[in-house]
Structure 1
Amino acid sequence: MQERQVSSDRLGAFSDAVIAVIITIMVLELKGPEGPALADLLPLWPTAITYAASYVFIAVIWVNHHHLLHLVRHPTPLLI
């Protein structure tokens, strides 16, 4: 049986999909304000700050991952 070579672009696309799923799950946990007034957003500030920090953390990991994948010529099963 011949082993197929996986390209680093395909590995990058897979990691993009995983990050998208993680961010989607994070958004599903957000709750809306109780009312339509701007003052109703005030009690939600800890959640908003936590979400923003988590998003930045994941974005930094994603950017670093893409920079590292540019150095990969042929991904091995061990890398995957």
Structure 2
Amino acid sequence: MDEKDTNRLEAFSDGVFAVAITLLVLDIKVPELDAAGQLLDGKLWPELAKQWPMLVAYVTSFATIGIMWLNHHR
């Protein structure tokens, strides 16, 4: 392949990785807020603790995709 074709393929692959990482963020739920923008129960950490399995899955997936992206650019 000539260098121009390789650059286009690399740019496309970077876009695919970017979309994959962006889609991961869509699963993270924001705790419910009242009209003033405050948490309904006023406690952020308990709300985040309820979501720990999803946050661990997000970090693991992000790291996996990031490692694949880094290996792709070697």
TM-score range, shorter chain: 0.7 to 0.9
Which residue matches 2:68?
A: 61
Write the distance in 1 (CA, Å) between the matches of 2:10 and 2:57.
27
User: Who is 1:73 aligned against?
Assistant: none
- Cα distance in 2, alignment partners of residues 32 and 8 from structure 1: 40
Q: Deviations over 1:15-71 (max 9, x none)?
A: 11000111111111221224522221110111101100000000000000111xxxx
Identical positions, percent: 43
Aligned-residue Cα RMSD (Å) equals: 1.6
Aligned residues, how many?
Answer: 63
Q: 1:31 aligns with which of 9, 29, 32?
A: 29
Q: Provide TM-score, normalisation by structure 1.
A: 0.68
Q: Which residue of structure 2 aligns with residue 41 of structure 1?
A: 48
Gapped regions of structure 1 (runs ≥ 5): 68-80
